[in-house]
Amino acid sequence: EVQVVESGGGLVQPGGSLRLSCAASGFTLNNYWIHWVRQAPGKGLMWVSHIIGDGTKTSYADSVKGRFTISRDNAKNTLYLQMNSLRAEDTAVYYCVKGGAYSTSPFDSWGQGTQVTVSS
Amino acid sequence: DIQMTQSPSSLSASVGDRVTITCRASQSISSYLNWYQQKPGKAPKLLIYDGITLQSGVPSRFSGGGSGTDFTLTISSLQPEDFSTYYCQQSYGTPPTFGQGTQVEIK
C-alpha cells in the first residue's frame, strides 16, 4: 500500500527553524515527483515545493524561496523540508504528497499532515 | 502563475441533487486539471485527473469535463458522504495552483 507519513511539526518562535520529514512506504521516492502542500487555518491549499524523481531539480513557491529547502534520503526513502526564518504566515498543516512520474501528474497520495505553528 | 477560479465558493444542496462546480484557468492548461475532495480535519483525496479520468475507487456519480480554460466537476446524485470541500488544481505549469475551494453543504 502506498503511504506517506509526515512528522516534525510543532510550535516554533518567529525566526526559528523546523525540519519536517516524510517517510514513504509502498513505493520508491526517487521514481516520483514529491510535493509539499500546506493549508493555513481555515484557508485553501497552497503548493510549497517539489523535488523531481531523479532529484536533479527542486522548485519553491515564491513565499518560501530562500527560506525552505527540500531534500531526500534515498536510502531511508524519506523526504525532508527544512524550514528556516519561519514567519507567522507559515503557520499551517503541511502535507507530503506523492505525484507521478511527470510534472503534469496529479497528486495521488497525501499524508495525514503535520501542524506547524509559528508564534511567540 | 496560472490562476484558478472556482465557482461557486459554496453551495447548499439536498441528497439526490445534481451538483456542478466550475473551475476556470487564467490561461489554457490543456487537460491538466485535477479535482480533490477534502473533509474537515482530513487530507485531500484525488477524485479526477486529467480533466475527465476517475481515480480508482471513486464512485461513478463523480464526473469531470472541459479542456483549455473551463472545467466542471459534476456529482450526478449527491450522497451524504459527498458533503465536503472540493478543490480544482492545474498541473500544467509550475507552480501547480489550486482553486479557492467550493464548500458543498447540506440544505
Task: Indicate the SS3 state at residue B20.
Answer: strand
Contacts of B38 in chain A (CB under 8 A): 45
Residue A54 is predicted with a pLDDT of 87
**Residue matched to cell numbers 497525501:** A110
Distance CA A48, CA A61 (A): 5
Averaged pLDDT for residues A78-100: 98
Residue B41 is predicted with a pLDDT of 96
Averaged pLDDT for residues A28-48: 97
Please give the full DSSP string across chain A, using - where no structure is assigned: --EEEEE--EEE-TT--EEEEEEEESS-GGGS-EEEEEE-TT--EEEEEEE-TTSS-EEE-TTTTTTEEEEEETTTTEEEEEE-S--GGG-EEEEEEE--SSTT----EE---EEEEE--
pLDDT in tens, A44-79: 999 999 999 888 999 999 999 999 999 999 999 999
Residue B100 is predicted with a pLDDT of 98
Contacts of B97 in chain A (CB under 8 A): 47
**Residue matched to cell numbers 519536517:** A20
> Inter-chain contact A45–B46, Cβ cutoff 8 Å?
no
Distance CA A7, CA A21 (A): 5
Query: Distance, in angstroms, between B88 CA and closest chain A CA?
Result: 10
Percent of residues, chain A, with pLDDT higher than 70 = 100
pLDDT in tens, B40-89: 999 999 999 999 999 999 999 999 999 999 999 999 999 999 999 999 99
